[in-house]
Amino acid sequence: MSKIILVNGKVITFNDKNQIIEDGAVLIEEEKIAEIGTSSELLNKYRKDVTEIVDAHGGIILPGFINAHSHTYSAFARGMTLEKELPTNFLEILQKIWWKLDLTLNKDDIYYSALIAAIDAIKSGTTTIIDHHASPNFCTNSLKTISKSLIKIGLRGCLSYEVSDRNGEDSALEGIEENIRHIKWCDEKKNSLISASFGLHAPFTLSNDTLKICTDREKEFKTGFHIHLAEGQSDVKDSKRKYKKSVVSRLKEKGILGEKTIAAHCIHLTDDDLNILYKTKTNVVHNPRSNMNNAVGVAPIIEMFNIGIRPGLGTDGMGMDMTREVYTSWLLQNHNKATPFSFSPDEAYQMLTYNNAKIASKFFPLKLGSLEIGNAADIIVVDYKVSTPLNPGNLFSHLLFGSENWTVKDTIINGKIVMRDRKISTINELEVIKKTRKLASKLWERLKNM
Ligand SMILES: [Zn+2]
């Protein structure tokens, strides 16, 4: 049995009591956390029979972060030249950038962009992603391709394919089959790193007929759906115009919402819409940096907290660093209200820690996102010296500002050390980068000729 001990660190648990252990240690047995205590306690007990000791050198040891809404394929858009006529609104951003890019993705692009996204995740301390994928010209087995990439590097991921009518009926049906194929593959393989949701692009690119097929097929597996919701005004207006009802009412009526469904963005919503999301226990995921990048508006996160919705946090393809995302969420909500302290660091970190943990744990056999005995051993060691007092009461406001000055040193996922002293141990990072530079450049050429 593999036994790893992490020692000499301040252990931050993100458990219900927000417990912090000075000079703490964590014992990992196989895929799980087996014991938590002080370094001297655990070393005395287990020094003789451990496989490996990871020394935090006085840094901090904390649960790996979860990215509750990502798109690995966006990794190849880094530095991509845009058309001369720039998009002027969100719909044009989709039409001129993302829907063109996803049409050009081939198998190698999908595999290697997922590897790059995974490297970024591991290096920034993100150990689980809930991904949403689209590649209409390489749809069948696209999720298997991403799975292979994540298994190779050792990142945990819940994957889904974005069903959409935007490329015609055949393409939508192929997307549905890809979700089903992946769900069955997960059921059969039971790989603890990979799980499935049922992906849907967004209400405005999905007809009622297509939604009906999706809910009929999903019933057998009860995976829930992963969908973009009310990200742009266009989504809200489309529903009013075509169906004479709010976009949230429509999804509720069609059986899309529920406690395993993830609704990313949720920006342009009325109080009634928010109440429906609350009552259906739908998992809302906030993506502040993406929303600011696309200039689509600010999600009513404070209002959600007020009525009892507990939103999670994702990057929506804007990198993988969740500490940047949470910092931005805090800045954005306060700036938007034009009143300081409208939104507290505790609330911002609640999205990243407790809420993301609750959402992601629905898709994996072991509990994620906190250091507790029996939970999945997804743990990061951060090179960060605590220069001001840190205790359960000020933990989140400390981390909010402190994370700007830290480096993730070691990353452990599913009980396996995937990065040690900044070096990824499961792949040859330089070889991968050499390959992706070539692939991305070819993809950009294809895009120019579209
Ligand atoms: Zn998205």
Rounded to the nearest angstrom, the distance between the alpha carbon of 202 and the centre of ligand 1 is: 9
Rounded to the nearest angstrom, the distance between the alpha carbon of 335 and the centre of ligand 1 is: 23
Residue 335: partners with Cβ closer than 8 Å, 6 or more residues away: none
Rounded to the nearest angstrom, the distance between the alpha carbon of 102 and the centre of ligand 1 is: 13
Q: Which two tokens stand for residue 154?
A: 């050792």
Work out the percent of the chain whose per-residue pLDDT is above 90. 98
SS3 content of the chain, % helix, strand, coil (to 5): 45, 20, 35
Look at residue 449 and tell me whether its pLDDT is greater than 90: no
pLDDT of residue 69: 98
Residue 31 dihedral angles phi and psi, to the nearest 5° = -90, -5
**Contact of 195 with 54, CB cutoff 8 Å:** no
pLDDT of residue 450: 83
Q: How far apart are CA 411 and CA 67, in angstroms?
A: 15
Look at residue 415 and tell me whether its pLDDT is greater than 90: yes
Residue 386: partners with Cβ closer than 8 Å, 6 or more residues away: 10, 60, 398, 402
pLDDT of residue 432: 98
- Fold classification of 65-361 is TIM Barrel (3.20.20)
Q: How far apart are CA 53 and CA 262, in angstroms?
A: 38
Rounded to the nearest angstrom, the distance between the alpha carbon of 153 and the centre of ligand 1 is: 23
Residue 441 dihedral angles phi and psi, to the nearest 5° = -65, -40
Strands 379-383 and 283-286, how do they pair?
Answer: unpaired
Rounded to the nearest angstrom, the distance between the alpha carbon of 146 and the centre of ligand 1 is: 16
Rounded to the nearest angstrom, the distance between the alpha carbon of 177 and the centre of ligand 1 is: 21
Q: What is the mean pLDDT of residues 256-280?
A: 98
Q: Which two tokens stand for residue 353?
A: 């820690």
Instruction: Give the residue among 129, 133, 77 at the shortest CA–CA distance from 110.
Output: 133
Rounded to the nearest angstrom, the distance between the alpha carbon of 318 and the centre of ligand 1 is: 10
Q: Which two tokens stand for residue 433?
A: 């980068």
**Contact of 131 with 70, CB cutoff 8 Å:** yes
- Let me know if domain 3-64+368-423 sits in CATH 3.40.50.300: no
pLDDT of residue 51: 94
- State the DSSP code for 163: B
Look at residue 75 and tell me whether its pLDDT is greater than 90: yes
Rounded to the nearest angstrom, the distance between the alpha carbon of 26 and the centre of ligand 1 is: 35
Rounded to the nearest angstrom, the distance between the alpha carbon of 141 and the centre of ligand 1 is: 20
**Contact of 76 with 101, CB cutoff 8 Å:** yes
Rounded to the nearest angstrom, the distance between the alpha carbon of 299 and the centre of ligand 1 is: 14
What's the angle, vertex CA 145, arms to CA 142 and CA 151, rounded to 5? 140
Rounded to the nearest angstrom, the distance between the alpha carbon of 433 and the centre of ligand 1 is: 24
- State the DSSP code for 96: I
Rounded to the nearest angstrom, the distance between the alpha carbon of 315 and the centre of ligand 1 is: 8
Rounded to the nearest angstrom, the distance between the alpha carbon of 69 and the centre of ligand 1 is: 6
Rounded to the nearest angstrom, the distance between the alpha carbon of 198 and the centre of ligand 1 is: 14
Confidence of residue 193 (pLDDT cuts 50, 70, 90): very high
pLDDT of residue 1: 86
Q: Is 422 left (phi over 0), alpha (psi -120 to 50) or beta?
A: left
Query: Which amino acid is it at 253?
Result: E
**Contact of 152 with 194, CB cutoff 8 Å:** no
pLDDT of residue 82: 81
pLDDT of residue 142: 98
Instruction: Give the residue among 174, 249, 183 at the shortest CA–CA distance from 213.
Output: 174
DSSP 320-352: S-HHHHHHHHHHHHHHHHTSTTSS-HHHHHHII
Return the exposure string of 335-356: e unless at least 16 CB atoms fall within 10 Å of the residue's CB, then b.
ebeeeeeebbbbbbbbbbbbbb
β-partners of residue 159 are 196
**Residue 84: exposure state from Cβ atoms within 10 A (0-12, 13-18, ≥19):** exposed
Rounded to the nearest angstrom, the distance between the alpha carbon of 52 and the centre of ligand 1 is: 38
**Contact of 101 with 162, CB cutoff 8 Å:** no
Rounded to the nearest angstrom, the distance between the alpha carbon of 182 and the centre of ligand 1 is: 19
What digits encode the pLDDT tens for the residues 31-48? 999 999 999 999 999 999
Rounded to the nearest angstrom, the distance between the alpha carbon of 365 and the centre of ligand 1 is: 25
Mean pLDDT of the chain: 97
Rounded to the nearest angstrom, the distance between the alpha carbon of 382 and the centre of ligand 1 is: 28
pLDDT of residue 375: 98
What digits encode the pLDDT tens for the residues 366-386? 999 999 999 999 999 999 999
Rounded to the nearest angstrom, the distance between the alpha carbon of 225 and the centre of ligand 1 is: 13
Rounded to the nearest angstrom, the distance between the alpha carbon of 21 and the centre of ligand 1 is: 37
Rounded to the nearest angstrom, the distance between the alpha carbon of 421 and the centre of ligand 1 is: 32
pLDDT of residue 130: 98
Rounded to the nearest angstrom, the distance between the alpha carbon of 266 and the centre of ligand 1 is: 11
Rounded to the nearest angstrom, the distance between the alpha carbon of 264 and the centre of ligand 1 is: 7
Is the pTM for the entire model greater than 0.85?
Answer: yes
Rounded to the nearest angstrom, the distance between the alpha carbon of 98 and the centre of ligand 1 is: 10
Instruction: Give the residue among 370, 373, 383 at the shortest CA–CA distance from 27.
Output: 373
pLDDT of residue 42: 97
What digits encode the pLDDT tens for the residues 92-104? 999 999 999 999 9
Rounded to the nearest angstrom, the distance between the alpha carbon of 317 and the centre of ligand 1 is: 7
Q: Which two tokens stand for residue 69?
A: 């809404």
Residue boundaries of the structural domains of the chain: 3-64+368-423, 65-361
Rounded to the nearest angstrom, the distance between the alpha carbon of 240 and the centre of ligand 1 is: 22
Look at residue 83 and tell me whether its pLDDT is greater than 80: no
What digits encode the pLDDT tens for the residues 113-141? 999 999 999 999 999 999 999 999 999 99
DSSP H or E stretch at residue 27: strand 20-29
- State the DSSP code for 64: P
Strands 126-131 and 156-159, how do they pair?
Answer: parallel
Q: What is the mean pLDDT of residues 264-271?
A: 98
Rounded to the nearest angstrom, the distance between the alpha carbon of 226 and the centre of ligand 1 is: 10
Rounded to the nearest angstrom, the distance between the alpha carbon of 305 and the centre of ligand 1 is: 22
Look at residue 263 and tell me whether its pLDDT is greater than 90: yes
Rounded to the nearest angstrom, the distance between the alpha carbon of 208 and the centre of ligand 1 is: 21
